[in-house]
Amino acid sequence: MLFLSSCTKFLEQPSPDEFKPSTVADLQKILMYEGYPVPNRSFHPYASLLDDDIKCIGRDEGASNWRQGKPAFTWSKKMYSEMQLNGDNDPDTYGKYYQRIKGCNVILDNVQLVKGRQAEKDQLEGEAIALRAYYYFMLINLYGWPFNDSLHTPDKALGVPLVLSGKVADACLHRNTVLQVYNQVVSDITRGCLLLEKSDREPNVFSMNKYAAWLLASRIFLYMENWDNVMMYNDKLLAARFQLENMRFWASISNRDTADKSQECYINPFNKEILFLYGCVDEYSLLGLSRFNATPRYCASDALNASYEKGDLRADVYLNAWKTTGEFSKVNYKAHLGKSFRLPEAYLNRAEACIRKYIQQGDGALLQKAVADLNHLRQYRFSSKTFVPETAAGYYNNPQQLLQLCLGERRRELCFEEQRWFDLRRLGMPAITHFYYTDENKKPVAYQLPEKSNSYVLPIPDMALVNNPLLEPNP
């Protein structure tokens, strides 16, 4: 009874610094500072250390980013506490996402109650609810089983608690199922798209907009294997935005110390592929990319490097920072913000959906559309001398081969953008081996992630378990 009473008091108690917003402008400020990702606080700089695109390349000499990264690189069940012991003072990914969700919930609770034009209210609600969809999508893919996992069906598998009001916290809530969380994510992103589509405000890359919302919707439905909705949202996006950066231009520039600020790093506000630019450059801090000419502690794996064909310019433009020059890269020490939604994903999402739908139904037009999407992306990524377009004819009897090409392109294009780990989860959770150097006089130690391991679901942080006695830990 005492426990239930304390929960009730916690849920009903307002924050001591709470104030009542009265205008749309008030809520816009709250969303900017409490709802959007902040540029000086990372969510999970360890994300790229979990997958098979990374390897350790140096001896552990006590450098903080080596030690802080090791618990994730080795899939430790105590990764958060070990990262903290190794010098990371802010490892609570779980709490950071819920903090942003709380900011979005304040907007959604109040947006129709304050003064302002209805168009402004719709725009603000659209941004907040699409952001909440993104945050819950990230949480469920970090701390819940994949939606398509046959061994842990989404209607039974534990997800994360759903907190849908600014007046409620997760401190006294059980975990909702994976299906319930996905249903909420779908509801949120669907409404977010509708509201942002009718906005009269010109989209900009620094705020959630209809282009980014369409791309997020397609990603969500891709994970749910709802191929029709993947195609529908990408059809909308690619009808409005289709221009990619020409990688030949990027690769031809050798001197980056010019006045052309658009070329400082690939993910930048001037890149025409960027739909939404946000977040912290420190998301890459454990990879050693924040310092010019610093030797990285981790770098692209041999398998990732080998996957690039001759003439594929992405190998240099995307991975050169891992060769210690710090210049060509998606994000390097010159970056303004660290994360983005990029247009190439739309071509990859739609191509995969078309191929998988073709495998189900045998509609040749779908295979042709998939090949066209992959060719469009690849022609902007290869040198003019080496690009050879694919043709659908060779894949009618072997669509699985085209699917492997598509998934390979996804890996090459989206590497180190917090996509690979989630892709491995939805593609069957294969076994991975990482080698970690502990001493320069010893051979590296092998760490194994078995196929379909429980470690494909990250541990709920200890702090969250302490704060919420009803929160069930992951196995």
pLDDT at 131: 98
pLDDT at 4: 39
Mean pLDDT highest for which of 292-296, 352-356, 444-448? 352-356
pLDDT tens digits along 291-323: 544 566 788 899 999 999 999 999 888 886 555
Q: Comparing 182 with 199, which gets the higher pLDDT?
A: 182
pLDDT at 263: 53
Mean pLDDT highest for which of 289-293, 338-342, 427-431? 427-431
Q: 10: pLDDT confidence band, cut at 50, 70 and 90?
A: very low
pLDDT at 294: 57
Cβ-contact 159, 143 below 8 angstroms: yes
Three-state SS for the chain is CHHHHHHHHHHHCCCCCCCCCCEHHHHHHHHHHHHCCCCCCCCCCCHHHCCCCEEECCCCCCCHHHHHHHHHHCCCCCHHHHHHHCCCCCCCHHHHHHHHHHHHHHHHHHCCCCECCHHHHHHHHHHHHHHHHHHHHHHHHHHCCCCCCCCCCCCCCECCCCCCCCCCCHHHCCCCEHHHHHHHHHHHHHHHHHHHHCCCCCCCCCCCCHHHHHHHHHHHHHHCCCHHHHHHHHHHHHHHCCCCCCHHHHHHCCCCCCCCHHHCCCCCCCCCCEEEEECCHHHHHHHCCCCCCCCCCEEECHHHHHHCCCCECHHHHHHHHHHCCCCCCCCCCCCCCCEEEECHHHHHHHHHHHHHHHHHHCCHHHHHHHHHHHHHHHHCCECCCCCCCCCHHHHCCCHHHHHHHHHHHHHHHHCCCCCHHHHHHHCCCCCEEEEECCCCCCCCEEEEECCCCHHHCCCCCHHHHHHCCCCCCCC
* Cβ count near 222 (within 10 Å): 23
pLDDT at 16: 36
Q: 440: pLDDT confidence band, cut at 50, 70 and 90?
A: low
pTM score of the predicted model? 0.92
pLDDT tens digits along 324-337: 544 557 776 667 78
Residue 146 pLDDT greater than 50, yes or no: yes
pLDDT at 321: 57
Work out the average pLDDT over 202-231. 97
Average pLDDT, the chain: 87
Residue 115 pLDDT greater than 50, yes or no: yes
Work out the average pLDDT over 160-180. 88
What is the CATH class of 92-201? Answer: mainly alpha
Work out the average pLDDT over 153-168. 93
